[in-house]
A and B are shown apart, each in its own frame.
Chain A
Amino acid sequence: MTYKRKRYSETLKKSIHWIKNHVALALALVLGLFILYPTPVYAMHIAEGILPANWAAIWYGIAAVFITIGVIVIRRRTKENKRLMPLFGLAGAAIFLISVFPIPVPISGTSSHPVGTPLAAILVGPFVSTVLGALALLIQALFLAHGGLTTWGANIISMAVAGSFVGFSAFLLLRRLNAPIAVAGFTAGILGDWATYAVTSFELASALHGSGSLWGMFGAIAIAFAPTQLPLGIMEGIFTAAVVVVVYQRRPELLTHVIPLTTKPMVSTVKEGN
């Protein structure tokens, strides 16, 4: 009898342990099924055909400059250090996944997505992040009906370039001011996210304002974006801070190698135990 009780007790303990270990997996599965449930699709990013050809060409031209520099940087860095490839792969896949992840915002009554490029820019640098973001956008435009081929250039500028450079600059500036990693990461995420939607508003306004005021239309679109994007920016900030802190606590050299300018303050913070 005692033996049986012991066995039951052990089985129960094992089951509880198993459930505890698999709660995250179960939650991820439920969330995944919920998101992937086949409902009518609403495209993210600027959709195919929205921008006139001349504006599409202008954004393509500007994007090409950043992409060219980014490709050169990637080639140079991977030539110097082949071990950077996993980090680039991780950052690229993260941008792809994060930027197709629709998040409903109850306060605004609509949904939108985070961008992931501020985080990627902190991990791999803004030019590399721009190229990775461009690749993610291309796959989304080709196979997921998100964005478009004619609007690829505009989407690269808003999500990959603005998100990366604003996020990276905020991170760099705050680290230079000796702000803790978490604060710098949070601010980078939030500002990178908002910058993406500010630039999207400008792209739409510049191409579609017609005889009306460019800045009037820009303001109207930006204000309409705000109730969705302001809270979503906070979420992106928290996520960015969390990942940067984890990476930095475990492998600080990953960040110091790709962001040499931040080497000094970052190392000092770790020694202080922040």
Chain B
Amino acid sequence: MTVAILIIAIVGSLVLSTDNTVREKGIWSDATDVLSGKAAEQAGRGARAPYINTEQGNMLVFFFCLGGVAAGFIIGYNWRRLLVEKDKGG
């Protein structure tokens, strides 16, 4: 089963990437963003600005850093509590 999945993934990626409409927006464009945008455009709709617009200057970077630091701390702290301290008999 796993081998079949791997073959599907590799062959599928190679075959389907030759005529990929998503690539025209560049490698750092998000596939979901591009595809949902295109589908919405066909239906006469479009994405709108978020209700809380954090895309102002450095605000978005600030929230990304804050989120990354907070998540990193939570993961590290709990990983230590669950896996490291128990190994030491804590």
Contact = CB atoms under 8 A, between A and B. Distances in A.
Check if A and B associate.
Answer: yes
Interface of A: 32, 36, 38-39, 41-50, 52, 86-87, 89-90, 92-94, 96-97, 100, 102, 104-113, 139, 141-145, 148-149, 174, 183, 186-187, 190-191, 197, 200, 204-205, 207-210, 217, 221, 223-231, 233-234, 246-247, 250-251, 254
Given A143-B67, A208-B42, A250-B83, A230 B12 contact: yes
B44 to A, nearest CB: 8
Contacts of B27: 104-106, 109-111
20 contacts: A43-B33, A48-B51, A86-B82, A89-B74, A90-B74, A96-B71, A104-B27, A110-B30, A112-B31, A144-B54, A144-B60, A144-B67, A145-B50, A145-B60, A208-B40, A224-B22, A226-B12, A226-B16, A230-B16, A254-B82
A151 B86 CA distance: 41
A42 B30 contact: yes
Contacts of B28: 39, 42, 102, 104, 111
B50 to A, nearest CB: 5
Contact of A108 (B2, B13, B45): B13
Interface residues of B, number: 66
* Secondary structure type dominating chain A contacts: helix
Contacts, number: 213
A221 B39 contact: yes
A217 B39 contact: yes
Contacts of A93: 70-72, 74-75, 78
Contact of B9 (A36, A43, A190): A190
Contact of B17 (A108, A143, A197): A108
Contacts of A100: 64, 67
